[in-house]
Structure 1
Amino acid sequence: MRRGLGVGDAVVIGLGAMIGAGVFAAFAPAAKAAGTALTGALALAAVVAYCNATSSARLAARHPRSGGTYVYGRERLGPFWGYLAGWSFVAGKTASCAAMALTVGAYAWPEQRRAVAVAAVVALTVVNCLGVEKAAWLTRLIVAVTLAVLAAAATACLTSSAAHGSRLAWDTSASGPHGLLQAAGLLFFAFAGYARIATLGEEVKDPARTIPRAVPIALGVTLVVYAAVALALLTVLGPDALARSAAPLTDAVRAAGVPGLAPVVRTGAAVAALGSLLALILGVSRTTLAMARDRHFPHALAAVHPGRHTPVRAELAVGALVTLLAATTDLTGAIGFSSFGVLLYYAIANASALRLGADEHRPPLAVPVVGLAGCATLAASLPPASVLAGLGVTAVGAVAYMVGPRR
Structure 2
Amino acid sequence: MKRTLGTFDAVAVGLGAMLGAGIFVVLAPAAGAAGSALLVGLAVAAVVAYCNASSSARLAALYPQSGGTYVYGRERLGPFWGYTAGWSFVVGKTASCAAMALTVGYYAWPSHANTVAVAAVLALTVLNVVGVQKSAMVTRVIVAVVLVILAVVVAAVVGSSGLDADHLAVDFDAGAAGILQSAGLLFFAFAGYARIATLGEEVRDPERAIPRAIIVALGIALAVYAIVAVAVLSELGSETLAAATAPLADAVTAAGHPGLVPVVRVGAVIAATGSLLALILGVSRTTLAMARDRHLPTALTAVHPRFDSPYRAEIAVGVVVAVIAAVADVRDAIGFSSFAVLVYYAIANASAYTLGRRTIPVIGLVGCLVLAFALPFTSVLAGMGVVALGAVAYLVRSRTSDANR
Q: For this structure pair, what is the TM-score category when the shorter chain's length is used for normalisation?
A: over 0.9
User: TM-score normalised to the size of structure 1?
Assistant: 0.95
Shift of 1:161: 2.6
The residue type equivalent to 1:51 in the other structure is C
Q: Which residue of 2 aligns with 1:359?
A: none
Q: Which residue of 1 aligns with 2:41?
A: 41
Pick which of 380-389 and 30-39 moved more: 30-39
Q: Deviations over 1:272-308 (max 9, x none)?
A: 1101110110000000000000010000001111221
Q: Which residue of 2 aligns with 1:365?
A: 358
- Cα distance in 1 for partners of 2:58, 2:387 equals 26
Establish whether residue 159 from structure 1 lines up as the match of residue 159 from structure 2: yes
The residue type equivalent to 1:64 in the other structure is P
- Cα distance in 2 for partners of 1:329, 1:177 equals 31
Q: Which residue of 2 aligns with 1:175?
A: 174
Structure 2, unmatched stretches of 5+, are none
The residue type equivalent to 2:283 in the other structure is V
Structure 1, unmatched stretches of 5+, are 357-361
Q: Deviations over 1:150-190 (max 9, x none)?
A: 1111111111232x855516896541111111111111111
Shift of 1:223: 0.4
State percent identity of aligned pairs: 66
- 3-state DSSP of counterpart to 1:87: helix
- 3-state DSSP of counterpart to 1:208: helix
Shift of 1:315: 0.3
- Cα distance in 2 for partners of 1:171, 1:62 equals 42
Q: Which residue of 1 aligns with 2:83?
A: 83
Q: Deviations over 1:222-257 (max 9, x none)?
A: 000000001101211111211121111001001111
Shift of 1:18: 0.5
Q: Which residue of 1 aligns with 2:227?
A: 228
Q: Which residue of 2 aligns with 1:390?
A: 383
- Cα distance in 2 for partners of 1:225, 1:177 equals 25
Q: Which residue of 2 aligns with 1:347?
A: 346
Q: Residues 165 and 72 (structure 1 numbering): CA distance in 2 closer, same or farther, change over 3 Å?
A: closer
Contact 2:165/2:234 (<8 A) preserved: yes
Q: Which residue of 1 aligns with 2:97?
A: 97
- Cα distance in 1 for partners of 2:41, 2:69 equals 26
Q: Deviations over 1:193-219 (max 9, x none)?
A: 000000000000011100111011000
User: TM-score normalised to the size of structure 2?
Assistant: 0.96
The residue type equivalent to 1:115 in the other structure is T
Q: How does 1:200-349 map to 2 (within 5 A)?
A: 200-349=199-348
Contact 1:30/1:243 (<8 A) preserved: yes
- Cα distance in 2 for partners of 1:170, 1:120 equals 40
- Cα distance in 2 for partners of 1:209, 1:22 equals 27
The residue type equivalent to 1:18 in the other structure is M
Q: Residues 171 and 381 (structure 1 numbering): CA distance in 2 closer, same or farther, change over 3 Å?
A: closer
- Cα distance in 2 for partners of 1:21, 1:48 equals 17
Contact 2:196/2:210 (<8 A) preserved: yes
RMSD across aligned positions (CA):
1.5
Contact 1:171/1:238 (<8 A) preserved: no
- 3-state DSSP of counterpart to 1:333: helix
Q: Residues 238 and 79 (structure 1 numbering): CA distance in 2 closer, same or farther, change over 3 Å?
A: same
Pick which of 286-295 and 240-249 moved more: 240-249
The residue type equivalent to 2:384 in the other structure is L
- Cα distance in 1 for partners of 2:168, 2:218 equals 30
The residue type equivalent to 1:378 in the other structure is L
- Cα distance in 2 for partners of 1:119, 1:372 equals 38
Pick which of 208-217 and 239-248 moved more: 239-248
The residue type equivalent to 1:46 in the other structure is A
- Cα distance in 1 for partners of 2:269, 2:186 equals 19
Q: Residues 145 and 207 (structure 1 numbering): CA distance in 2 closer, same or farther, change over 3 Å?
A: same
Shift of 1:258: 1.0
Establish whether residue 133 from structure 1 lines up as the match of residue 133 from structure 2: yes
Shift of 1:334: 2.4
Q: Residues 329 and 243 (structure 1 numbering): CA distance in 2 closer, same or farther, change over 3 Å?
A: closer
The residue type equivalent to 2:123 in the other structure is A
The residue type equivalent to 1:329 in the other structure is A
- Cα distance in 2 for partners of 1:224, 1:404 equals 45
Q: Residues 370 and 124 (structure 1 numbering): CA distance in 2 closer, same or farther, change over 3 Å?
A: same
Contact 1:56/1:349 (<8 A) preserved: yes
